[in-house]
């Protein structure tokens, strides 16, 4: 017990402990902030992989779309409501 009291009254021990408390909990670059940012980096890397896969999928669909005129016409009619000059177009909106 006397050793603990002896070391706790030492200036260097108190300075080191206060420095550690400051760096771990109080500072703007504290440990919980680092954990949160690391978790966010992992999530962003997962999203990056997802979007890379999505990009490859979209490039394949685009290549397929521009290689097939019938599919291109179907997409143009359904998605962009395009029509031939002699046709009438009716859009039904459901409530």
Element (H, E) at 79: helix 69-80
Task: Take residue 24 and report the two structure tokens written for it.
Answer: 């771990």
Asked if residue 93 is part of any domain, the answer here is no
Task: Identify whether 91 is part of a domain.
Answer: no
Q: What is the pTM of this model?
A: 0.52
Query: 60: domain range?
Result: 2-80
Evaluate whether residue 85 is within a structural domain. no
Instruction: Let me know if residue 74 belongs to a domain.
Output: yes
Answer yes or no: is 33 within a domain.
yes
pLDDT digits (tens, 9 = 90+) for 68-77: 888 888 888 8
pLDDT tens digit sequence for 36-80: 999 999 999 999 999 999 999 999 988 988 888 888 888 888 888
54 in a structural domain: yes
Question: Is there a domain that residue 87 lies in?
Answer: no
Output the six-digit token pair for 46. 């997962």
- Is 88 within the bounds of a domain? no
Q: CA 38, CA 32: separation in Å to the nearest integer? A: 10
CB 83 within 8 A of CB 89: yes
**CA-to-CA distance for 17 and 8, rounded, in angstroms?**
10
Residue 4, both tokens:
């603990």
Show Cβ contacts of residue 91 under 8 Å, excluding neighbours closer than 6 positions.
81
Number of domains in the chain: 1
């Amino acid at each position: 017990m006397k050793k603990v009291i002896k070391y706790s009254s030492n200036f260097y021990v108190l300075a080191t402990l206060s420095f550690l408390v400051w760096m771990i909990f109080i500072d703007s670059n504290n440990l919980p902030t680092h954990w949160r940012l690391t978790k966010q980096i992992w999530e962003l890397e997962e999203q990056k992989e997802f979007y890379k896969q999505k990009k490859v999928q979209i490039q394949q669909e685009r290549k397929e779309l521009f290689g097939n005129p019938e599919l291109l016409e179907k997409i143009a009619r359904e998605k962009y409501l395009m029509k031939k000059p002699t046709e009438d177009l009716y859009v039904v909106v459901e409530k």
